[in-house]
Each structure stands twice: as C-alpha cells, then as structure tokens.
Homo-oligomer: A and B are copies of this chain.
Amino acid sequence: MDSETATVSARPAHSHASLRLNFCAGTTGCAVACAKCQVRALGICGALDTSELDEIEALLEHVDVDARASLFMQGDGADYVYTLTAGCVRLSKDLTDGRRQVVGFALPGDFLGLAMGASYGFTADALDHVGLCRFRARDFAAFLDRKPHVMRRMHELAAHELTIAQDQMVLLGRRRADERVAAFLLDWRERLHHITGADHTLHLPMTRQDIADYLGLTIETVSRTVSNFVRQKLLLIVPDGVRILDAGGLRGMVG
C-alpha cells in the first residue's frame, strides 16, 4: 500500500464484499495535485480558492479503479463520497428479479454522493479505468459546514442533477425508442464536448445493455435502432463508439 498506481484488477462487478478499490495514498504517487487538476473547474472544486484547495487536498485520497470493478453497491453504508477525475462510471439500480435501471453515467468532474443518506441509493461500477478523489463522508460534510459557498455549489450541482433527472423522466415516460436513442447520443456528445472538446466521433464506454438499461429498452431494440440510424446515414459505427454524420437529423427526431 505504498504510493504506486497499482490498480485493482477486481473482475466480477457484482461480487459484494470483495476488495474493490485501490489506494494511491495522499498527494504522492499516481494522481494529479488539485492545483493541476484538469477537471477542477467542472465539479465542486471549481468553487474553491487556493487555500481551500490545500484544505480539501488534505481530506482526499486518490483512488484508482479498474474497468468492471464496483466503487460501491446499492445498500452499502455510504461512508465515502467521490469526485471523478478520469473515466466513466455507471450508476444503476436493481430490482429483485434482475431488471435493472441505469440512472446515469458519471464522467470526469461529476460528484458521486450528492444524495447521500445512510446508504448508497445505487450501485456504481467503473466502465473504464477510473480515477477518483475519495473523501470520508463525515469529513466532507464537516468541510461543507465550514464552507457555505461550497455547500451552495453542492446544491447547484444537486439542482442540476435534479433537472437532468426530470428530463430523463420525460424520455422514459413519453418518448419512443428512436427518440430515446437519438437523445442519448446527442446528450452524450454534448457531455464529452464539454469535457474534452470532442468532435463528432463519440467514444461509448458502455455496452448496448447499459444503454438499453439507461433508456428503458432492451438490448435488441437499441441495436436495431442504431442499425436504422446507420441505414439512414445519421451514424457510422466505429470501434468502441459511433461517429455522428447528421446531428441535425438526430435533433429532428428528438424535437
């Protein structure tokens, strides 16, 4: 446990009590210092001045998680909150009979633990190799109580998430399959663009199953819909993603 980027190679994303994380202790080793953090402006840390940045840096641990490993499972005690610095995390809720709903995909800058109660409300699985800043929930809450403007920032993020969630309700409740897929692709492009300034070629770290569970569809329907888009020359399928050929056409489907 000594300052190197030894990433955990935990395979089964659904083994409950396995070791899931890997520490990259303190400010030494793998991870970037807050002052040089690429995604600082995107998340909570955008609200911090330099002295506060030092303060929060003392509270965090840099954590590395391998693809397919779980950060935490729905129902686990919510002892930690996270800021994502690299990679993509799938947030999902399971029904007892195996049905699953993906409630979101977290990207760099996103905060995990906005709606933290005693336990996590969803499972978080790494899709990529993921880098995070980890805080003890109690420490982080204490920090917020000392820093009202950071609490305010937290609330702004939560409010934004709530708005997104309501848009997702419209999608799930009232949109057809093709509208859902088109909206997903456009939204994903928007998010990647915001972070990396990406162009029309989208990396999709999630599987078709993940997309289906996010959109309230089956894997076959997602596959068929994407194939239709390709046939209509709206998309091109590329390795690990798609290339958007006609964003206007997709936007026209969403309305």
Q: Please give the residue numbers on chain A whose beta carbons come within 8 Å of chain B beta carbons, in ascending order.
A: 93, 95-97, 99-101, 103, 114-117, 121-122, 144-145, 148, 151-152, 154-155, 158-163, 165-170, 172-175, 213-216, 255
Contact = CB atoms under 8 A, between A and B. Distances in A.
A205 B172 CA distance: 24
Contact of A145 (B122, B148, B161, B215): B148
B169 A162 contact: no
A191 to B, nearest CB: 18
Given A115-B163, A155-B155, A162-B162, A93 B170 contact: yes
A126 B170 CA distance: 20
A93 to B, nearest CB: 5
Identical copies of this chain, number: 2
A165 B170 CA distance: 11
Given A162-B114, A162-B161, A216-B174, A103 B169 contact: yes
Given A145-B148, A162-B115, A95 B170 contact: yes
Given A103-B169, A172-B216, A255 B162 contact: no
Contacts of A214: 173
Contacts of A122: 166
Pairs A-B, 4 closest by C-beta atoms: A173-B216, A165-B165, A172-B172, A148-B148
B166 A166 contact: no
A100 B148 contact: no
B169 A168 contact: yes
A95 B180 CA distance: 13
A108 to B, nearest CB: 20
Nearest to A155: B155
A157 to B, nearest CB: 9
